[in-house]
Structure formats: structure tokens, C-alpha cells
Amino acid sequence: MTNPGSAAPTANAKLAPLPPERADYDRGAAVDVALDGVTDLTKKEKELQDKEAELRKREQELQRREEAIARAGIVIEEKNWPPFFPIIHHDIAKEIPVHLQKLQYVAFTTLLGLIGCFLWNIIAVTLAWIKGEGVTIWLLAIIYLLSGVPGAYYSWYRPLYRAMRTDSALSFGGFFLGYLLHIAFCVFAAVAPPIIFKGKSLAGLLPALEMLTSNLLVGIFYLIGFACFCVESLISLWVIQQVYMYFRGSGKAEEMKRDAARRSVMSAI
């Protein structure tokens, strides 16, 4: 029996539907696209493509020039020595044929030896200046260093380097002329007679003998300078002998004679 005043059973009760919720957006609304941004990107992309094309064109032009230079036999010399302050181009291991590298290294040793001789000459002359020989000889010793080292490099070492690298008869001729002057100077400096070069500005044998009678220490320094110039002269004689033997054996001497004869004929015509 049911109580007429009680509520209807929950199983038979129907839930009231929820009220509809309003959407936060309008499905039919149009979406605005930022066309300005797309235009800017397209413009930048075109600029990048133009720059890439220009760079590619420059690379091709540079490559053509390098190939033309290589065909003409011109070598671009990049300064790489000494490593801490490059002032000259020097790479015997890569540019000089293997069978000539030893000779080139010895020739380079004579260039460094000449620098050492000039430096020791400055030390000896400085000591003589302190002992009362005057400042003139010291200034001359500085001039010998500043003029002699570049002169040696340009007059005989660089011609020899190019001759060994390119096997050029003309470069060999320039080397022989410059190196003979180098040897003559070294022999002269080893003796150091009081002619041409003033007083005791060169640490040679004659100034050393004179200084030994007045100041033993200065005389010893001058004798060491004499020994340095003697060693430099002997090694230089060996170098020019070996280069000449290679020059004759490779047929470059005959080539120079033929070139000289051809130039004589052309000038006569």
C-alpha cells in the first residue's frame, strides 16, 4: 500500500533537460589573414635568393681567375714565415721538389747565418763603442743589418727559391750573380780591411788583432765575428757549387746560352 502523500519513486522520475549554452564563438564569422606578413616573407626570401645568386656568380668569377692564373704559371705567394710575424712566403716542403729540398734548406741556413753574423757584428761593435771607438761604427753596423738582410733575400735567396720551384734558367742566373756578391762580402767582412767600410764597423780579423792589443774582451768578440763570417763563407761556397752542378746537369746552362743567342739575333735584326 502506498501512501498518497509520498513522492513518486526516483526510478520513474524524468530529469529536466539542461538549458542550452551559448557558444563563445561564431562559426560563421570570417577569419582575417595577415597578408602583409606573408608579403614581407616573400620579399625577404627573394632578396636572399638574389644575394645567393650574386655570391655564386662572384665565386665562379674568382674560380675562373684562379684557373687562368694557374694556366699562366703565376703563383700567388701568401706570407707565412716566420709564423709569429709573417713577412715572406716560404714553404720548402710543399713547393720545392724532394731531391732539391736539402740544398734549398742549406741555402736558407746561409740566409739565417748572415742574419746571425750581422747581429753578432752589432754586439761586438757596440762593445767597441762603449770602450771608446765612437758611435759612427755602431751606426754603420746597424745599416749593414737593415740593408744587408733584405738585400740578400731579394738578390739571391728569392731567385734561388723560384728557380728551384719553377726550374727557370733566368732565375738561376739571377741567383748566381747575387750569391757571388754575397760570398765576396762575407770574405771581405771576415778580413775587414780598413777600406770601403770605415774603421772597426765589421768584426773581422784585422780589427780583432788590433783590438786584442788594447782591449782583450773586445778583441775576443771581434775574433768570434771573424769565425762567424768564415763559416758563412765556407757554407756559401758549398751551396753555390752544388747549385751550379745541378744547373749544368739539368741542361739549364745550355738553355741560357740558347736564349742569350736568340736575344742577340733578335736585337741585331
* Dihedral over alpha carbons 239, 242, 246, 252 (to 10 degrees): 60
- Alpha-carbon distance of 117 to 111, in angstroms, equals 10
| Rounded distance between C-alpha atoms, residue 88 and residue 82, angstroms | 8
Distance of alpha carbon 189 from alpha carbon 96, whole angstroms:
32
* Measured distance CA(60)–CA(65) in Å, rounded: 9
Would you say residue 243 has pLDDT above 60? yes
Place of cell 606573408: 38
Task: Judge whether residue 69 has pLDDT over 60.
Answer: yes
Q: What is the DSSP letter of 201?
A: S
Band of pLDDT at residue 130, cut at 50, 70 and 90: very high
Q: What is the pLDDT of residue 38?
A: 67
- The per-residue pLDDT for 7 is 47
Q: How many CB atoms lie within 10 A of CB 55?
A: 10
With bands split at pLDDT 50, 70 and 90, how would you rate the model's confidence at 189?
Answer: very high
Is the confidence at residue 43, as pLDDT, over 90?
no
Residue-averaged pLDDT of the chain: 84
Q: Which pLDDT score, from 0 to 100, does residue 227 have?
A: 98
Instruction: For residue 120, give the nearest of 34, 217, 14, 228 by alpha carbon.
Output: 228
Residue 244 near residue 161, CB atoms below 8 Å: no
Q: Is the pTM of this model over 0.75?
A: no
